[in-house]
Amino acid sequence: MKPFRKLRSLFASKTHIVPIYTQQVAYIKQASSALVKMTLTSDHGEWKKLEKEVKVCETQGDAMLTEFYEQLYEGIFTSIDRLDLQTIAMYIDEFLDNINDSAKSVLLYLPDRIDQQLAELAQYIESEADALKSLVVCLDNVKANFSNLTLLCDRITELEHAADDAYEEYIGYVFHNEKNPIELMKYKNIAEMFENTTDAAKRVSDYVRKMLLRYAE
Q: Identify the band that residue 217 occupies on the pLDDT scale cut at 50, 70 and 90.
A: low
Average pLDDT over residues 138-161: 94
Q: Strand, coil or helix: what is 115?
A: coil
CB 139 within 8 A of CB 204: no
Give the chain's end-to-end CA distance (angstroms, integer).
7
pLDDT digits (tens, 9 = 90+) for 91-128: 999 999 999 999 999 999 999 999 999 999 999 999 99
Q: Please, which pLDDT band fits residue 9 given cuts at 50, 70 and 90?
A: very low
Predicted local confidence at residue 51, as pLDDT: 98
Q: What integer pLDDT is reported at residue 15 of this predicted model?
A: 46
Instruction: Give the model's pLDDT for residue 215.
Output: 73
Which residue blocks in the chain are alpha helix, DSSP H?
Answer: 3-11, 18-38, 44-72, 82-109, 116-138, 146-177, 181-215
pLDDT top residue among 86 and 158? 158
How large a percentage of the chain has pLDDT more than 70? 88
Superfamily of domain 3-215 in CATH is Phosphate transport system protein phou homolog 2; domain 2 (1.20.58.220)
Q: Is the pLDDT of residue 206 over 60?
A: yes
Cα separation, 196 vs 203, in Å, equals: 11
| Average pLDDT for the chain | 89
What pLDDT, on the 0 to 100 scale, is given for residue 140? 86
| Residue pLDDT, tens place only, 47-79 | 999 999 999 999 999 998 888 888 777 655 556
Residue 12 has pLDDT above 50, yes or no: no
Domain ranges of the chain: 3-215
CB 201 within 8 A of CB 128: yes
Give the tens place of pLDDT for each residue, 123-148. Answer: 999 999 999 999 999 998 888 899 99
